[in-house]
Chains A and B, each alone.
Chain A
Amino acid sequence: MKTKNFIKYTILYVLLGIGAVFMIFPFFWMITGGFKTSQEIAAFPPLLFPSHFNFDNFKFALDTAPFAKYFVNSVVVTISSVSLSTLTTILAAFAFSRLEFRGRDTIFALLLALMMVPFEMIVITNYRTIINMGLLNTRLALIIPFTSSIFYTYILRNFFVSIPESLYRSAKIDGCSNWQYLWKVMVPIARPSLVTIILLNSIAAWNSFFWPMLVTNTTAARTLPFGLYAFMTEGGARNEYMMAAATIVVLPMMILFFFARKYIVTGVSKGGLKG
């Protein structure tokens, strides 16, 4: 029995190890590629590691394209759109779970139906709306279309519904206003759900590519992923520079993942990612 178990676990670890290498390899290749010289990156057979770790490619990327500016833009856009949408989400989720008004559940069901509208469809009109608002090539254009999320409202509302209604009733009878109840009772209880929503939303905002590509053409308003793409198409596309720049884009989310892995993984398994 013991040897059987040993064989079983050996096979298990070998298979998992092969899979893990396959999954993580592009990241390994990206980061080590960023440190390679132009000869090393074109070496055949390929070199697993650079001969020494010099930061020349990173320096070149930061000097040629305004990645520092892109980075600031990404931070500003992510923080603003996530905080605004979290606020509207909390308020709406509360209204749909506790407040009483006519047609509440019908309206909510209609909103859920809207979740299947693909973003790639409505983008045509949204692009024009941004032009009409005079927001083309501004960071605001990357923020305001994402201030209300049906998906996150749906997730949070379901959590709010699971908080016992009796708690609400007793608080109300004690003279608590809806506003107070929401911020003093509901939000603290829902903190794990909120953290998950904020994390998933931040990841989506940080990595967003399609929309920024449509509405930001100037370096002043670009965020990192589209800035990286522009660096490739405009900057001659040398692989060692590309890998260095790609590392700059990916690193913040990697760090976030190391610290918040459990939240992100359980969040995805419970709610799924935004489609």
Chain B
Amino acid sequence: MKLGFFKKKDKEPKVEFTKKWEPFVFLLPFVIGVTIFTIYPLFNVIFMAFKENFVLLTGKYTGLGLKNFELVLKDRYFIQGMQNTFRYVLIVIPISTCISIVIATLLNNKIRFMPFFQTAYFLPMVTSATAVGLAWKYMFHYQYGIVNYLLGLAGIDPIAWLTDVSSNFTALCVYGVWNMLPFTIILLLSGLQNIDKLYYTAAKVDGASTLRIFFRITVPLLLPTIFLTMVVNSISAFKVFHELFPLWSGQPGIAYNLFTVVYYIFYQFRGLTPPKYGVAAAAAVILFIVIFIFTRVQMWIQKRFDN
């Protein structure tokens, strides 16, 4: 995203185009919404994270301090959540990026049946992840799932994808990669379309092979877009959470083995009785810090490649 607001003002004679009250009226509906549902909760959650033994109903708390953060960082579910989340990001992002580079490069050719391919590759972007998650659940079924059937054809014994602790995470990653592909392919495809055709013409004149062109021209020139999509995807992968709902009926894995950072937040303020709002808030602040770092990296990449 480019920040385009540091434009030089036109040096024209000053004419009063805006009445004093106008900006106020135009902005009012927008500002009300943003204030109540983004700005206020942001500060409220940060403050809540420091309230010790906070009870939501009464609004009472025993003091301000770092106790919630201590509780979070020592909680084995949170540690598990962090590990799972980072593992998820580190597995899903490289795999989906590599597949997307190949598919985007192929789609960038002049090919027939483009509407069909576009539909096939981009449809998952517009459909409910909950509904499609249920289809995956059926495909992952231990006894009659198509995944195990296909593995069986290759001579592999059936795997209890959803009902065995050791395979849960793989199932989540497979579904995660599938989910991430459409968006990644679209971004990379538009990056490819921005590459000057001249490079390809020159390479062809020199007689370079298709593979050589791919590794020596396409990939290097696409690198900024690749980095950018990786960071953007990392941010969304870091919030992995609602994929768990269709696959394990709202549980984090078959044996509470698939906590993620966001699931942990949700669990603290919705899964526990009584809910631990302070702990949830502290975990949310940690999530915010991680995403803040990712976003800084994203801006840094953009700045570097824009110049």
A residues at B contact (CB < 8 Å)? 8-9, 12-13, 15-16, 19-27, 29-30, 33, 41-46, 85, 87-89, 91-92, 94-95, 98-101, 104-105, 108-109, 111-112, 114, 116-118, 120-129, 144-145, 147-148, 150, 153-154, 158, 161, 165, 168-169, 172-173, 178, 203, 206-207, 209-210, 213-214, 224-226, 228-229, 232-233, 237, 239, 242-243, 246-247, 249-250, 253-254, 256-258, 261, 264-265, 268-270, 272-273, 275
B30-38, B72-80, B87-95: which lies at the interface: B30-38
Nearest to B127 among chain A residues (CB) is A250
Q: What's the least CB distance linking A184 to chain B, in Å?
A: 16
Q: Is there contact, CB below 8 Å, between A16 and B111?
A: yes
Task: Answer whether residue B27 sits at the interface, using C-beta atoms and an 8 A cutoff.
Answer: yes
Q: Are B138 and A242 in contact (CB under 8 A)?
A: yes
Q: Counting CB contacts under 8 A, is B203 at the interface?
A: no
A207 touches B118 (CB 8 A): no
Complex A-B: 17 CB contacts under 8 Å: A12-B106, A19-B106, A19-B120, A21-B120, A26-B136, A27-B123, A27-B132, A41-B138, A92-B27, A126-B41, A172-B15, A225-B128, A237-B249, A246-B128, A253-B127, A265-B118, A265-B186
Given contacts A23-B178, A46-B144, A246-B135, contact A88 B30 (CB under 8 A): yes
CB-defined contacts of B277 to chain A, threshold 8 Å: 124
Contacts of A95 in B (CB 8 A): 22-23, 26-27
B38 and A232 contact, CB distance less than 8 A: no
Q: Is the CB of B29 within 8 A of A229?
A: no
Whether B291 is near chain A, meaning CB under 8 Å from some CB there, is yes
Which of A8, A13, A99, A120 counts the most B-chain CB atoms under 10 A from its CB? A120
Residues from 50 to 103 in B contacting A, C-beta threshold 8 Å: 56, 99, 102-103
B106→A257 contact, CB < 8 A = no
Q: Which residues of B contact A112 (CB under 8 A)?
A: 3
Asked if A122 contacts B270 (CB within 8 A), the reply is no
Partner of A120, one of B12, B124, B241: B241
Q: Which of A42, A239, A254 contacts B127 (CB 8 A)?
A: A254
Contact A243 B117 (CB under 8 A): no
Interchain CA distance A246-B137 in the complex, whole Å: 12
- Binary contact track B138-174/A, C-beta < 8 Å → 1, others 0: 1101011110010000000000000000000000000
Known contacts A89-B30, A120-B262, A257-B123; is A8 also within 8 Å of B42 by CB?
no
Is B126 in the interface zone, CB < 8 Å from A? Answer: yes
- Cβ-closest 9 pairs across A and B: A148-B33, A125-B41, A92-B30, A122-B41, A20-B120, A269-B190, A246-B131, A30-B135, A95-B26
Query: Is the CB–CB distance between B109 and A125 below 8 Å?
Result: no
* B226 CB-CB contact with A under 8 Å: no
Q: Is B39 an interface residue (CB 8 A)?
A: yes
Cβ–Cβ contact B181 & A23, under 8 A:
yes
**Bound complex: CA of A254 vs CA of B29, how far in Å?**
33
Q: How far is the CA of A116 from the CA of B102 in the complex (A)?
A: 30
Q: B130 — nearest CB in chain A belongs to which residue?
A: A225
Chain B positions within 8 Å of A233 at CB level: 249-250
Q: Which residue among A46, A87, A153 has the maximum number of chain B CB atoms within 10 Å of its CB?
A: A46
B138–A239 CB distance below 8 A: yes
The residue from B132, B186, B265, B287 contacting A269, defined by CB atoms under 8 A apart: B186
Cα separation A150 to B24 with both chains bound (whole Å): 17
Contact A253 B27 (CB under 8 A): no
B33 to chain A, nearest CB (A): 3
Q: Is the CB of A100 within 8 A of B119?
A: no
Contact A122:B241 (CB < 8 A) given known A12-B109, A250-B127: no
In contact, B23 and A242 (Cβ under 8 angstroms) = no
- The answer on a CB contact under 8 Å between B186 and A268 is yes
Query: Is B4 on the interface with A (CB-CB < 8 A)?
Result: yes
A15 and B106: CB pair below 8 A?
A: yes
Contact A99 B45 (CB under 8 A): no
B132 touches A30 (CB 8 A): yes
Flag if A243 contacts B135 (CB, 8 Å): yes
B247 nearest CB across to chain A (Å):
11
How far, in Å, is A109 (CB) from chain B's closest CB?
A: 7
Min C-beta distance of A209 to chain B, whole Å: 5
CB-contacts of B1-28 with A (<8 A): 1-7, 10, 12, 15, 17-19, 22-23, 26-27
Specify which of B23, B42, B119 is in contact with A99 (CB 8 Å cutoff): B23
Let me know if B138 and A29 touch, CB within 8 A.
yes
Kindly provide the distance from the CB of B192 to the nearest chain A CB, expressed in whole angstroms: 11
Can you name the residue of chain A whose Cβ is closest to the Cβ of B56? A128
In the bound complex, residues from chain A placing their C-beta under 8 Å from that of B262 are 120
* Contact call A121/B287, Cβ cutoff below 8 A: yes
Say yes or no: B242 contacts A19, CB within 8 Å.
no
Q: Are A125 and B40 in contact (CB under 8 A)?
A: yes
Q: Contacts A121-B287, A229-B130, A265-B122; is A94 near B26 (CB within 8 Å)?
A: yes
Tell me whether A253 and B235 are in contact (CB under 8 A).
Answer: no
Complex: chain A residue closest to B296, CB-CB: A116
